Amino acid sequence: MNPLSSLAACQKLLSSRADGFAELASEALARAVALERGEQPIHAFLSLRDTAPCVGPEPSPGASWRAGGCLAGVPIAVKDNICTTDFPTTCGSRMLQGYVSPYSATAVRRLEAAGAWILGKTNLDEFGMGSSTEHSAYGPTRNPADRSRVPGGSSGGSAAAVAAGAVPAALGSSTGGSVRQPAALCGIVGLKPTYGRVSRYGLVAFASSLDHIGVLARSVRDAATVLEAIAGFDRRDATSQRRDPPRADRVSAAELAGRSIGIPGEYFGDELDDGVRAVMERTLGLLSRCGARITPVSLPSTELALACYYVIAPAEASSNLARYDGVRFGRRAPGVATLRELYGRSRGEGFGDEVKRRIVLGTHVLSAPRYEAFYVRALQLRRRVGDDIRRVLGEVDAIFAPTTPSPAFPLGSRCAAPTDMYRADLYTVAANLAGIPALSVPIGDVDGLPVGGQLMCGAWEEEKMCSIGAAIERLVGYDPPRARGVG
């Protein structure tokens, strides 16, 4: 059995041997390196520790492992838009090639305080902009379930690393779905917490009012354990809230009998793939057979949510990315003669096409003649999306729907028309716009391609959401990585 397949498996190895930590670390490293090899590499990582630490009375220099802590000795991967002092933080962009942050993100520091060992940094769509991890300046990540297909995005490297069994858990970030969506496409669990639950300090900003740090893991319980370690107030993030972290020991595969589960009709429209629909219907059958009350609900703003997201996110991105000018931040183009050329060439050469598209779009919707018609209108819609969800969540315990309209798509198939790519976020953006927690759990597959079911609960209800998620996980009994023999 792969000792990296769960936190419990890691802990078993760690406690069974004096040199368990060194063994676990080198196993993780060997598996991570293997993902970078071969004709069609998975390419989950952008940087890795160069050596596994040796174990002694004191961990070797550079090792973050300390005795004790709920993640003591556990290798964890971190998306490469989350700052770390031990590795570069490139955001998948040429703009930040080789950049090493002078500080680590609060979430990373908390992982390390809980004893975790950061194995490496994972690939992503440039600055988190994308749904497939094909928009990385360092090449695409492939889906471990089928290497001709995308792992989803933008946290595709983190999802692939977990699904392929190199680490039991990884940090990702979600602005519109980048934790749940790749989790669904790779057949693992993706947890996006309530906005303000996990500090964004050290998460490189894409769209600040929508950005969240989230967790990818192989089980709901493991995701909840990592969330507990990284959650909590941080005075360095002005939007961080004073709430106790949700407790993983309160997550139990709760009784589903009597729970009311709202099923939004809008998530089952024409764009839903037939295979995904069939897997969802089978899951709903299982839920109602064990006594859950399946209640049809309506979220009329679903279609508008995507349009609203693709105005607000680029608007904020255009402002956040203005700092990469080759002077204060970012790579400076060599051999420039004028200031104008310095800005133009540094940004022109540093950013990829998708990032440029967002900057142009964002600048457009914020420009004086367009501001009211696009940006202000999108803010009003955002309010409506949140109101719709809160109204429904006043009537049911959780909303349950597909995470994505389709399973993993072939590499390259949605690169020609950007709006095809954007539609992969149809079902995930609402939870980001509303700031509520959401969770994707693997519920089956379509011809071997994993399918995720998504739960959404009210703000700060992660414990309840994870308990329902754990119950669904147990009910469905589906473990795609194991089903594929990844271990």
The set of catalytic residues is 79, 154, 178
| CA–CA dist 312, 377 (Å, integer) | 10
| CA–CA dist 117, 302 (Å, integer) | 40
CB of 88 to ligand GLN, least distance (A): 20
> Can residue 128 be called a binding residue for ligand GLN (CB under 6 A)?
yes
Q: How far is CA 477 from the centre of its chain?
A: 23
CB 237 within 8 Å of CB 207: no
**Among positive and negative, which fits the CA dihedral 227, 135, 151, 207?**
positive
CB of 425 to ligand GLN, least distance (A): 5
DSSP one-letter string for 248-305: GGG------TT-EEEEEGGGGSTTS-HHHHHHHHHHHHHHHHTT-EEEEE--TTHHHH
CB 47 within 8 Å of CB 32: no
Q: Using the minimum distance from each CB to ligand GLN, give the nearer residue, 132 or 301.
A: 132
Task: Pick the stretch among 29-37, 108-116, 127-135, 291-299 that binds ligand GLN (CB under 6 A).
Answer: 127-135
**Identified binder of ligand GLN from the candidate list 425, 445, 461, 462, rule CB under 6 A:** 425
DSSP state of 340: H
**What is the enclosing helix (H) or strand (E) of 229?**
helix 220-230
Q: Using the minimum distance from each CB to ligand GLN, give the nearer residue, 145 or 355.
A: 355
> Can residue 81 be called a binding residue for ligand GLN (CB under 6 A)?
no
Q: Using the minimum distance from each CB to ligand GLN, give the nearer residue, 206 or 267.
A: 206
CB of 364 to ligand GLN, least distance (A): 16
**Identified binder of ligand GLN from the candidate list 131, 141, 302, 320, rule CB under 6 A:** 131
User: Which residue bears the tokens 């004790």?
Assistant: 68
CB of 334 to ligand GLN, least distance (A): 31
CB of 358 to ligand GLN, least distance (A): 8
Judged by CB under 6 A, the chain residues 195 through 254 that form the site for ligand GLN are 206
Q: What angle do CA 99, 168, 474 make, to 5 degrees?
A: 140
**What is the enclosing helix (H) or strand (E) of 205?**
none
Judged by CB under 6 A, the chain residues 436 through 475 that form the site for ligand GLN are none
Q: Using the minimum distance from each CB to ligand GLN, give the nearer residue, 131 or 143.
A: 131
Judged by CB under 6 A, the chain residues 285 through 314 that form the site for ligand GLN are 313
Q: Using the minimum distance from each CB to ligand GLN, give the nearer residue, 128 or 168.
A: 128
Residue type, 468: I
Q: At what angle do helices 462-476 and 220-230 cross, to 10 degrees?
A: 160
> Can residue 352 be called a binding residue for ligand GLN (CB under 6 A)?
no
CB 196 within 8 Å of CB 239: yes
Task: Pick the stretch among 6-14, 124-132, 288-296, 439-447 that binds ligand GLN (CB under 6 A).
Answer: 124-132
Residues in binding contact with ligand GLN, number by CB under 6 A: 14
Judged by CB under 6 A, the chain residues 144 through 183 that form the site for ligand GLN are 154, 173-178
| CA–CA dist 62, 107 (Å, integer) | 18
Give the binding site for ligand GLN (CB under 6 A). 128-131, 154, 173-178, 206, 313, 425
